[in-house]
Amino acid sequence: MTDWTEYGLALVLFIGSHLLPRVGGLRARLIHAIGRRAYLSGYGLLSLVLLAWVISAAIRAPHVELWPQAPWTRWGPNLALPLAFVLAACGAGLRQPYTLGGKRGAGFDPRTPGFAAVSRHPLFLALALWSGAHLLPNGDLAQVILFGAFLVMALAAIPAFDARARSGLGPEARAFFEATAILSPAPLLRPDWMRANGRRMGLRALVGLALWQGSLHLHGLLIGVSPFPA
């Protein structure tokens, strides 16, 4: 198997694993057959394995330079990733079912939207920030395909999930969209929102920043490339 063949196969399987369960109600049938917890655990493990394969295959793929890496370009990920990790930490388990990582069984109350008032798609935005920022210093073809694919998937998912919310909520959709935002800092300036959510979100933000610091210092060991500007 050539390096390009392996990379293409890994990428197709990874993308397919996210698209196939939506076809013909396959996801619903699998959940009914084995249970939601077993399905989510198995699907999550499969996604991690395929993601690791895609990244390792991209590293091994032939180097075809589209633009050179200048030292300053590494500031892109270093500036964007703290926000991406905070969004992911604050958005995990979001109490609205129409997004990645949202609680499926949770009802949404527009009077208490929680972090959805800041972003109803925080994990998709985190993925878009991560992939878009990594495009800047990674100008070889394999990396551009990898990060470009993640960026397109993340940005395309936002209107797709919003359309699902409009369909699923029906008459309640207007209140849902008025109480939430794709990304807005306005709730952070409201005393009532901060009283209800500030402490919990602050702790989650600290967890996100700690995870970012961990990934920053493990980047060279795990990926083989220092993330720090030379």
For residue range 69-80, list pLDDT tens digits in order. Answer: 888 888 999 999
Domain-ending residue, one of 62, 79, 109 = 62
Q: Tell me the residue range of the domain where 214 lies.
A: 65-223
Residues 51 and 15 occupy one common structural domain: yes
Instruction: Write out pLDDT tens, residues 117-171.
Output: 999 999 999 999 999 999 999 999 999 999 999 999 999 999 999 999 999 888 8
Bridge partners of 65?
140
pLDDT mean over 177-182: 95
Residues 128 and 98 occupy one common structural domain: yes
Residues 116 and 31 occupy one common structural domain: no
The residues, ordered by sequence, that sit 6+ positions from 106 with a Cβ below 8 Å of its Cβ are: 95, 96, 97
Domain-ending residue, one of 46, 62, 78 = 62
Total domains present in the chain? 2
Q: What is the DSSP code string of 31-61?
A: HHHH-HHHHHHHHHHHHHHHHHHHHHHHHHS
In a domain? residue 87: yes
Domain-ending residue, one of 15, 31, 62 = 62
In a domain? residue 33: yes
DSSP one-letter code for 94: -
